[in-house]
A and B are shown apart, each in its own frame.
Chain A
Amino acid sequence: MRKIFLKEWLLAFGSIVTIGGIAAWACAGDPLPEYGVSAFAPEAFVDSSYSPFFLSEQNYYQINYDVPAENRFRQENITEWNQYTGNKVSRQALERLLYTATPDNLDSLASREPDWAKWQSVEKDRAKKSLEYLRLAKRSEQYTNPPVADWWDQEKKPAFDSTTVTSFRNAWVKLLETEKDPFLQERCFFQVVRACFFQRDYPGALRYYQKRATDFHEGSLYYRTMSYAAGAAYKQKDFALSNYLYSRVFEGSMTLRIPAHYSFHPQEESDWNKTLSLCRNAREKTVLWQMLGIFYGDEYRSMREIYSLDPKSPKTDILLVRWINKFEQASKYFSTDDYRTMEGFDIPDSTRLKGIRQIADAGNTASPWLWQLVYGYGELLSHKPALAKTYIDRAASRAPATPLAQAQVRLLQVAVTLDNAAAITPQLEQQLLPQLKWLLSLQNSDLPSLRFEDLQLTIRRKIAGLYKRQGIPTKAECFNHEPAFFKDSVFVNNLEQFLNNPKANNYEAFCKIISSVSPEMIREYKAILATYRNDLPRAMSLMQTVEAKETFLYGNPFNGRINDCHDCDHQAKQKISYSKAGFLAALQEMEKQVSAGNDVFNNARLIGNAFYNITHFGNARKFYECRIIGQDIYVVEGIDSAYFATLTEMGYAEKYYRLAMEAANTPEQKAQITFLLAKCERNRWFLQEKEPPVDFIAWKGFRDLKEKYANTRYYQEVLRECGWFRTWAGKPPLASGNR
Chain B
Amino acid sequence: MLKRNLLLNIIVFLYCGCTPGVTPEQAFYYWKTTYDTGPAENNALARPGVKSLYLRFFDVDHFPGTEGPVPRGRIQFNAALPAGKEIIPVIFITNRTFLSASDSIADYLPGRVWKLIKQTAAANKIKISEIQIDCDWTQATKKRYFKFLSNLNLLSRINISATIRLHQVKYRKETGVPPVSKGMLMYYNMGTIDASANNSIFDPAIAARYTGNLNEYPLPLDLALPIFGWGIQIRNGEVVQLLNKMERSDLAGDSGFATSADNRQIARHPGFHHGYYFQQGDAIKWETVTPEALLAVPEQLAKHGAGKFGKIVFYDLDAINLNRYEENFFERVAAGFR
A interface list, Cβ under 8 A from B: 1-2, 5-6, 9, 11-22, 64-65, 151-155, 265-269, 271-272, 292, 296-298, 301, 343-344, 346-347
Contact = CB atoms under 8 A, between A and B. Distances in A.
Contacts of B189: 13, 15-17
A6 B116 contact: no
Contacts of A268: 272-274
27 contacts: A6-B241, A9-B242, A9-B244, A11-B92, A12-B31, A12-B59, A13-B189, A14-B92, A14-B163, A16-B165, A16-B186, A16-B190, A19-B193, A19-B194, A19-B239, A20-B193, A21-B194, A151-B70, A152-B70, A154-B119, A154-B120, A155-B119, A267-B272, A269-B272, A297-B277, A297-B279, A347-B236
B332 interface: no
Contacts of B190: 16
A152 B271 contact: no
Given A271-B272, A298-B279, 10 more contacts: A14-B163, A15-B136, A16-B165, A16-B167, A20-B193, A21-B194, A21-B237, A154-B120, A272-B271, A301-B270
B240 interface: yes
Contacts of A343: 238
A144 B71 CA distance: 22
A14 B165 CA distance: 10
Nearest to A330: B236
Which of A21, A154, A343 has the largest number of chain B CB atoms within 10 A? A21
A13 B190 CA distance: 13
Interface of B: 31, 59, 61, 63, 65, 70-71, 74, 92, 94, 112, 115-116, 119-120, 123, 134-136, 163, 165-167, 186, 188-195, 200, 235-242, 244, 256, 270-275, 277, 279
Given A18-B192, A20-B239, A154-B74, A266 B272 contact: yes
A65 B188 CA distance: 32
Given A269-B256, A298-B279, A17 B192 contact: yes
Contacts of B63: 65
A349 to B, nearest CB: 9
Nearest to B94: A11
Nearest to A154: B119
Which of B195, B238, B256 has the largest number of chain A CB atoms within 10 A? B238
Contact of A15 (B186, B240, B244): B186
B188 A15 contact: yes
A296 B241 contact: no
Nearest to A19: B193
A153 B70 CA distance: 11
Contacts of A344: 238-239
Contacts of B200: 17
A484 to B, nearest CB: 36
Contacts of B188: 15
Nearest to B279: A298
A348 to B, nearest CB: 10
Contacts of A15: 136, 165, 186, 188-189
Contacts of A17: 189, 191-193, 200
Given A20-B194, A266-B272, A298-B279, A14 B134 contact: yes
Nearest to A298: B279
Contacts, number: 111
Contacts of B238: 20-21, 343-344, 346
A158 to B, nearest CB: 15
A295 B274 CA distance: 16
B273 to A, nearest CB: 6
B71 A152 contact: yes
A298 B193 CA distance: 23
A268 B271 CA distance: 8
A296 B94 contact: no
B277 A296 contact: yes
Contacts of A6: 239, 241-242
Contacts of B115: 152-153
Contact of B236 (A12, A154, A346): A346
Contacts of A18: 192-193
Contacts of A9: 241-242, 244
A507 to B, nearest CB: 44
Contact of A301 (B192, B274, B279): B279
B332 to A, nearest CB: 25
B120 A272 contact: no
A5 B194 contact: no
A79 B189 CA distance: 55
Nearest to B108: A152
B256 A346 contact: no
6 tightest Cβ-Cβ pairs between the two chains A and B: A15-B189, A20-B194, A21-B238, A296-B277, A152-B112, A269-B271
Contacts of A297: 277, 279
A633 B131 CA distance: 50
Contacts of B194: 19-21
B252 to A, nearest CB: 15
Nearest to B244: A9
A267 B195 contact: no
Contacts of B242: 6, 9
A344 B235 CA distance: 9
A331 B335 CA distance: 56
A153 B194 CA distance: 40
A669 B92 CA distance: 65
A301 B244 CA distance: 25
A12 B26 CA distance: 23
Given A15-B165, A19-B192, A21-B195, A65 B65 contact: yes
Nearest to A65: B65
B278 to A, nearest CB: 9
A151 B119 CA distance: 12
B106 to A, nearest CB: 16
B165 A21 contact: no
A298 B281 CA distance: 12
Nearest to A11: B94
A245 B195 CA distance: 37
A1 B240 contact: yes
Contact of B119 (A5, A153, A292, A301): A153
A658 B39 CA distance: 89
Contacts of B163: 14
Contact of B166 (A12, A13, A16, A272): A16
B273 A269 contact: yes
Given A9-B244, A18-B193, A298 B165 contact: no
A11 B61 contact: yes
Contacts of A266: 272, 275, 277
A411 B279 CA distance: 33
B59 A11 contact: yes
Contacts of B192: 17-20
Contacts of A2: 240-241
Nearest to A265: B275
A154 B123 contact: yes
Which of A265, A269, A297 has the largest number of chain B CB atoms within 10 A? A269
Contacts of A152: 70-71, 112, 115-116
Nearest to B122: A155
A13 B316 CA distance: 10
A538 B227 CA distance: 76
A336 B273 CA distance: 39
Contacts of A22: 239
A44 B299 CA distance: 64
A10 B38 CA distance: 26
Contacts of B236: 346-347
A661 to B, nearest CB: 45
B243 to A, nearest CB: 10
Given A6-B242, A268-B274, A16 B136 contact: yes
Contacts of A16: 136, 165-167, 186, 189-190
A11 B240 CA distance: 17
A153 B120 CA distance: 10
B111 to A, nearest CB: 9
B116 A154 contact: yes
A22 B235 CA distance: 12
Nearest to B271: A269
